Amino acid sequence: MDTGVPREPASTGLPVYTSESQQGQEDEHDAQVEQPLMPSTCRSWWYRCYDGLLRFALQSLSLGPLPRHMAFIMDGNRRWSRMTGVRVHQGHYMGFEALKRVLDLCLSLRRIDVVTVYAFALDNFRREQAEVDALMELARTRLLELSSNSELVRKFSVRIRVVGRRALLPPAVQETAQSVEEATKDHTGPTLNICMPYASQDEICAAATQAVQKGPLTEASLAEHLMVPCDIPIDVLVRTSHVSRLSDFLLWQCNEHTQMHFVDQYWPRFGVRDLIPILLAYQRAHVH
């Protein structure tokens, strides 16, 4: 008899059960057909209950201390694509869906003021041109979606900033980045910093160059010219996909109090049950 093996659909982050024999067939043939071990109505009821319990647990955390600034290295889109047998551009699309999901979870707690995400590194321009072009088009369309049609942005009055070497972006993406910032500049809610194309060493060098043009170079004068401000320190930094490095992200902004979490989950699957342990760890460290 086959024993159920949990798998997770990227859209919900909740477990779907398939048999071990079928799992082997999926690995061999990259098939995406799932054989449920319970009727669809029962499965739907179970998912709703499970998701509701997780969200209740998340909201319960709002009774304790919460980080004001969370940062995410959204890693694992391509590996998730290979694992599931879909095209790379579909993995990047699901990564954007994960960003909306995680942003909704964080902002629903009402006390997180800044979310900073690593969307595109300067080094990513070295990838195959077809992938870079697809990423740029995805960035353009999703930024446009955030600026004009996003219920999430309206709900939380999110202010969006696109930070990095924007001159390296295609003109259409630059124009869209400008428009999304203009459309949300008067919003009074949390800030979403989208870092693209970004590298921390590049940011620090540019800030130092600007600082020395105005006077002596000091820690304070350099910080004034950073793309990602230091006025709200980074409390929690999360990297997905079981990779334990910062990859030139927010090296100046991280400090001795920043909690770093390197989680196994691929970014397209990251959700509420991955976020809860991270917030619990923060609360344990800040309960006096």
Tell me which fold the domain 67-286 belongs to.
Answer: Undecaprenyl pyrophosphate synthetase (3.40.1180)
Contacts of 118 (CB under 8 A, 6+ apart): 71, 72, 73, 74, 195, 198, 247, 249
Domain boundaries, the chain: 67-286
Tokens 């196994």, located at residue? 264
Torsion sign, CA atoms 261, 232, 267, 273: positive
Q: State the Cα–Cα distance between residues 160 and 119, nearest whole angstrom.
A: 13
Contacts of 50 (CB under 8 A, 6+ apart): 14, 15
pLDDT in tens, 43-72: 677 667 767 777 777 778 888 999 999 999
- Average the pLDDT over each of 83-87, 133-137, 144-148, 186-190 and give the range with the smallest value: 144-148
pLDDT in tens, 75-97: 999 999 999 999 999 999 999 99
What residues are paired with 216 via a beta bridge? Answer: none
Decide: 80 and 94 in contact? Cβ < 8 Å.
yes
Q: Angle 129-148/88-108 helices, nearest 10 degrees?
A: 30
